[in-house]
Structure 1
Amino acid sequence: MKIGIDAGGTLIKIVRQYDNYREYETVPTTEIDKVIRWLNNHSCDDISLTGGHAATINQQLNCSAHIFVEFDAAAKGLNILLNEQGHDLDNYIFTNVGTGTSLHFSDGNTQSRVGGIGAGGGMIQGLGYLLSGIKDYEELTDIAQSGNRELIDLKVKHIYKNTEPPIPGDLTAANFGNVLHNIDVAFTASDKLACVIGLVGEVITTMSITVAREHNTEHVAYIGSSFHNNFLLRKVVEDYTILRGFKPYYVEHGAFSGALGSIILQ
């Protein structure tokens, strides 16, 4: 068994690679000591580390493990997952939506980081808490799935009420820009949280297609732990990417790309 660990700011992603199959697991970074105790029962030759807390883990192991740059590891693991899932791409942008969001260009062999933004899972959780008082990410995203964005977000179609708009009417003209037009409405927590997810999804998509255009590719692969239990974020990202004329790819187990790639790079 080979073990790949991507120790991020919020979650530790673990891949256990056997001869014919893999196991995937996530552990909160707050439980890093438990992960270290578990790893100390294994040979360091079988352990590969990446991510912001990789050095912290390595310092407390009984011996030195293999450490890799997280961007290179994510690119390597993602390319494997894309091929396994039937997507043979030789150039694409991949957008890693974790606590924040990092954007990369890949030619299938090497990657280069082409941007990054602060909108991501951390924004969903932090702003979501400020608007709803909900701390738990899964509870927050569960509630958001049934929310209605129409009363809070100002769409292009709301501005061009009696005429054909020059751009698609479903595009967001202003996130949260419709609130004062519906001041007497009691906005639910679901509505507010859905709009937070919509905001994050549209920001990361806009950045993704901008750098995709700059690098002459129409392909954008979306990965990251923020998609966990969050079909709404996936839908916003996919629909908005298509609406802007690009091709989105949601990658199953994409959040584990770094952990998987660290095993392959060993």
Structure 2
Amino acid sequence: MWDSSIKGFAAYLQLERSLSPNSVEAYLRDIRKLTSYLELQGKKAAPETITLQDLQGFIRFVAEIGLEPTSQARLISGIKGFYKYLTSENLITADPTTLLEAPKTRRKLPDVLSFDEIEAMIGAIDLSKPEGHRNKAMLEVLYSCGLRVSELIGLRKSWLFLDTGFIRVIGKGDKERLIPIGREAMHYLNIYEQGQRRTGIIQPGYEDFVFLNRRGKPLSRVMVFLIIKELANIAGITKNISPHTLRHSFATHLVEGGADLRAVQEMLGHESITTTEIYTHLDKQFLKSTLEKFHPAFK
């Protein structure tokens, strides 16, 4: 019964929810973890016979072996999705996950770069090196558009609509969005395109990718991470920096500047507004520090 239910769930995620293969596999891993736990407990029960107590025992088990609260919450979300599917298909009559609660997770505020720090990192790029203009265009695009690193390395030339000031991005779950791109980013993209990228090696099949390595293939996540870490070090920035830091900074600076949260959500490609709302917490901290610095009652 588990095998057929899991196969049906996979088809549902792929066909009806249009999730990417990686997302589907993540859901299935969650269910396999549950079935492995049940086997350890000597329970060969079918999905419809699982109780709330069984599921609570499973969550206690993964907590005891060291699974972080955020990972526990994601695991519970996957199990809830599985049982929601079984209920909607009338494969079970009662959903045991209804009262299953996720652990309380403390939302960690990410490090954010100031505009001056971002300028310092961009200024640290050595334009005399072959990859200099590529790296400058890359950082300008990351900060100007708030891209995930996966979206940056997957960016295609045919998705650049620079005459209208937009780029097309394929994000999580293969969802497409159009994002405005700033003048500086467009300027340095053009310099990179007309110079290094045009004269460099391009491997067959990768002609449409924007950011290429010296061998003519798309940059990897690790390579982008290393480039940004090195620039942060050169610029003397001691914060915990990653490509995602530029995305956080993009969103935070928009919110600090008074941007509508829904517009920020759209540009970031967040499915839920609650994900975007983390930047209002960052904004509140910014307001608090501003008051402490400039208001006489706070000095």
Whose helix fraction is larger, Structure 1's or Structure 2's? Answer: 2
TM-score by length of 2: 0.23
TM-score by length of 1: 0.25
Larger radius of gyration: 2
Whose strand fraction is larger, Structure 1's or Structure 2's? Answer: 1
**Larger RCO (CA under 8 A, 6+ residues apart):** 1
